[in-house]
Structure formats: structure tokens, C-alpha cells
Amino acid sequence: MIYRRKTYKIKPEKLTDFNDFFHTYLYPNQIKHGAKLTGRWVNEGKDEISAIWEYRSTEHYESIEKQIRNSDLHKKAEEKREESGELYIEAKQDFLSSTAPYHSAYLSPKHTMSVSGYITNQEGEVLLVRNFHRSDTMEMPGGQVEEDETLEEAVHREIFEETGVKVRLLGITGIYQNVTRGVTCVVFRGEYESGKPETAENETSEVCFTKLNEKNISEYITREQFRSRTLDAMEANYLPYEAFKVRPYELLSRFEVKREDR
């Protein structure tokens, strides 16, 4: 593995604009072509931002950069930079290599669990978001499950963080696995309870309830995998789910499969 550290000097008042630019253009283009973002930081003075990217090798990095330079998103990024003026004062990069395998294999997660929610309001409209790092599509709100967190807790938290909305969950409508990236997603269906839908800084650029059906879903959800999950949730064929802990055994929560839904 090699690591590329990219550092940008910015004016503090340009931090929000630069973050929007990064999440809309730079991040999705790198991820799309195979790079991995290890982390991203801003200093206390908010005038310097650093990002560290991971690549399999120097050849892997060069291949990705070539693809990015020839991409439509890169051209749009250049146009956006001209339109926005001085997004950053200067940029520099250097390459790093690890000195030792500090993160042992048994400590590093081999798989990631995520959740998302198909949430409807009284008018039957569906809650959708547009994330900065997947700006080409809308999708159900959701995200990664944290350590010592149940799936139910995670979906409540992620929906509230991304949209400002609190919900009541009804059950699970599907389980989906991305084998390439090692991610499994569990989709819940639920109903709006309270809160004003609003965007979250650095996460969502658009949040709304909208009328959604099989005919118009492609207008909103452009990625096939997100469409199939949403269509499955519309049918509401619930799966049983329970969360528990041991030593001693304690059932934390359970969703039953309703007889009328079988």
C-alpha cells in the first residue's frame, strides 16, 4: 500500500465552499475509480485541509489519476473552480508508506454493516436524501452501524443525523450485500413521527419527502442497487429481527412478521 497526502491552503471563510467542492467532485471521482479515503482533517485555524488517500501501488495511483483526468466529473470540477474563483490558495502532495502493520488483521473489520430507512409521511410521500459523495442520485437515508449499537438504534440515529427527522420503525424489508466493498445493508421501513426535514453539514445536500412509485423512481434514484432496495421496501414483506446481548441473556428488541403480511 502507498498513501498520498494532499494538503490545501485555504481562506477560512472558504471552508464551507471547499468542503462542498470536495464532496461533490473530488471525493466521488476518486472513490469511483478505486481510491480509498483514509481520513480528512482541518487545522484549528481552518486555513489548511489535509486528506490521505490509499492505493495498492504507485501504478494503481497513476492508473486512477489517468482515468480521473479523462472523466466528465473532472471537467465539471475544473469548470466549477473557474466559476467559484479561488477555492484554495495552494495545494501540495507527498507520498507515504507504512513503517509497520500496526493494525493487525484481527483488529481490522473484514465487513461493514449499514442500515437505511424507507420512511413515509401521512401523505404517503417517501423521505429521500442526496449525499455529497453520491451526488448523482437520491436515496433512502442511512449509514454505518457503530460498535455496540443495534441495527434499530443505528437507523434511528442515521436518519436523524442526515435529515433531522424522528421516525417509528415497522420492520425490515430486505438485506443487501456489496461483496466488492464488503458492505451489508439492512433496510427498515418506518413512518415519520416528528422533526423538520433539513440537510446536514458535510453529509446531505438535499432532503425531501416526495411522491415515489414504480413509474417515476428512476427520476430520483439513478443507481440500480438503491432502486431495487426501495422497490422492495414499497412491498413491505417484513422479515423477523431481534437484537439481544448475552452474559446474561437479554432481549433488547424484536420485530415480528405479521400474519397478514406472510
203, 159 contact by CB (below 8 A) = no
List CB contacts of 66: < 8 A, sequence separation 6 or more.
none
Give the pLDDT mean for 231-235.
Answer: 92
Looking at the DSSP bridge assignments, the partners of residue 210 are 126
What are 175's strand-pairing partners?
186
- The pLDDT score that the predictor gives to residue 211 is 97
Quote the pLDDT of residue 70.
Answer: 93
Q: Which residue has the higher pLDDT, 41 or 242?
A: 41
Residues 189-215 have a mean pLDDT of 93
Integer Cα distance of 112 and 103 in angstroms: 17
* 36: number of Cβ within 10 Å: 14
Taking only the tens place, the pLDDT of each residue in 87-107 is: 899 999 999 988 876 655 455
Question: Are 140 and 226 a contacting pair, CB within 8 Å?
Answer: yes
Domains of the chain (ranges, CATH numbers) = 2-96 (3.30.70.100), 112-261 (3.90.79.10)
pLDDT digits (tens, 9 = 90+) for 32-48: 888 989 899 999 999 99
Half-sphere exposure of 69 (CA within 13 A, CB side): 6
